[in-house]
């Protein structure tokens, strides 16, 4: 029986009851986080908590329990016997349940919080071979910096990628490549590493931040600058990053082969350094 966290309690998952008036259900009025458990530690939990608090602040959801995320996430792993396995924990917080109205409910309405953990089997193969991804106009809103559960443009776009046998959908806004449906994207042009700067058009990925640090420590030239779609032909390497895919090379983008069609040297260096760091943390 799977045990989940719900409003401060641990319950069998199928006994959890969420009101049909929950604003998460009615308005997608909520935020989420996904953290990765590497059999002994959560990867950069502090940054996830900082981003969680920022998302809550931006939506003006007053949830006082953000700092207890590591504690209840750990409890979830124990209760589900996942401590010694690679796992993920998902947390969602909504503005709570109240009669439907576009204005916020009164302050006594408490946010709804829900979290669960699951065993995660990473796809090692894709990190070796790389993936093919599609390109599509960015149909999302202008606050992609908030990790909101309103993900319909992301899910529709990712589904389109899946139906075309592709592994991610990368968005283009006003001719500039922003990010993927659930990942950030990096490019190597003339030996320089490019990624979209932090802005309201991308999520500030925790993996993105750590990859920039690793690249800097490795002496790689970095430019946090968006790449224009019409410069794809100059891209020698590309890779996506997120909590689950870590560093995954991209070998084809919108029908264009990237470089030699295999993961390039900068991508491999960064991927290997990221993996070595994880191994070192494991001790």
- Single out the residue of 24, 25, 2 nearest to residue 14, CA to CA: 2
Helix (H) or strand (E) holding 56: helix 45-59
Residues 6+ apart with CB under 8 A from 74: none
Q: 110 CB contacts (<8 Å, ≥6 apart)?
A: 7, 96
How many Cα atoms within 13 Å fall on the side-chain side of residue 233? 1
Q: Which residue number has the CB closest to ligand PDD?
A: 205
Q: Residue 18 Cβ, how far from ligand PDD at the closest point, in Å?
A: 20
Would you say 110 or 209 has its CB closer to ligand PDD?
A: 209
Chain contacts with ligand PDD (rule: CB under 6 A)? 34, 179, 182-184, 203, 205-208, 241-244
Instruction: Kindly state the smallest distance separating residue 105's Cβ from ligand PDD, in Å.
Output: 26
| Least distance from ligand PDD to the Cβ atom of residue 211, Å | 9
Residues belonging to the active site: 147
The answer to whether the CB of 229 falls within 8 A of the CB of 172 is: yes
- Taking a C-beta distance cutoff of 8 angstroms, is the pair 122, 244 a contact? yes
* Gap between the Cα atoms of 52 and 149, Å rounded: 12
Which is nearer to ligand PDD, 243 or 251 (by Cβ)?
243
Give the residue with the Cβ less far from ligand PDD, 29 or 138.
138
Going by C-alpha positions, the residue among 111, 138, 115, 117 that lies closest to residue 57 is 111
Angle, vertex CA 132, rays to CA 127 and CA 133, nearest 5:
115
Q: Rounded to the nearest whole angstrom, what is the least distance from the CB of residue 242 to ligand PDD in the complex?
A: 4
Looking at beta carbons only, is 22 or 246 nearer to ligand PDD? 246
- Please say which residue, 97 or 158, places its beta carbon nearer to ligand PDD: 158
Q: What is the DSSP letter of 97?
A: B
* DSSP letter assigned to residue 260: T
Instruction: Give least dist CB 49 to ligand PDD, A.
Output: 12
Q: Which token pair is 39?
A: 């059999």
């Amino acid at each position: 029986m799977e045990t989940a966290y719900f409003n401060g309690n641990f319950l069998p998952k199928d006994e959890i009851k969420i009101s049909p008036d929950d604003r998460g259900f009615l308005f997608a009025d909520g935020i989420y986080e996904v953290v990765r458990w590497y059999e002994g530690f959560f990867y950069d939990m502090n940054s996830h908590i900082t981003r969680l608090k920022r998302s809550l602040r931006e939506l003006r959801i007053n949830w006082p329990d953000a700092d207890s995320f590591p504690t209840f996430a750990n409890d979830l792993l124990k209760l589900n016997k996942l401590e010694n396995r690679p796992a993920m924990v998902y947390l969602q917080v909504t503005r709570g349940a109240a009669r439907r109205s576009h204005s916020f409910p009164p302050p006594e309405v408490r946010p709804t919080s829900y979290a669960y953990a699951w065993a995660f089997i990473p796809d090692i193969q894709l990190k070796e071979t790389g993936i093919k991804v599609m390109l599509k106009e960015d149909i999302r809103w202008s606050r992609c910096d908030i990790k909101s559960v309103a993900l319909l443009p992301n899910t529709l776009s990712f589904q389109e990628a899946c139906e075309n046998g592709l592994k991610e959908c990368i968005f283009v806004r006003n001719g500039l490549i922003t990010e993927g449906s659930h990942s950030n994207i990096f490019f190597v042009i003339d030996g320089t590493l490019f990624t979209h700067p932090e802005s309201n058009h991308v999520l500030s990925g925790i993996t993105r931040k750590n990859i920039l640090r690793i690249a800097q420590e490795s002496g790689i030239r970095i430019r946090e600058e968006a790449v224009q779609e019409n410069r794809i032909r100059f891209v020698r390497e590309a890779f996506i990053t997120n909590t689950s895919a870590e560093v995954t090379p991209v070998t084809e983008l919108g029908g264009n082969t990237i470089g030699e069609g295999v993961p390039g040297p900068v991508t491999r260096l960064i991927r290997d350094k990221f993996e070595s760091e994880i191994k070192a943390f494991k001790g």
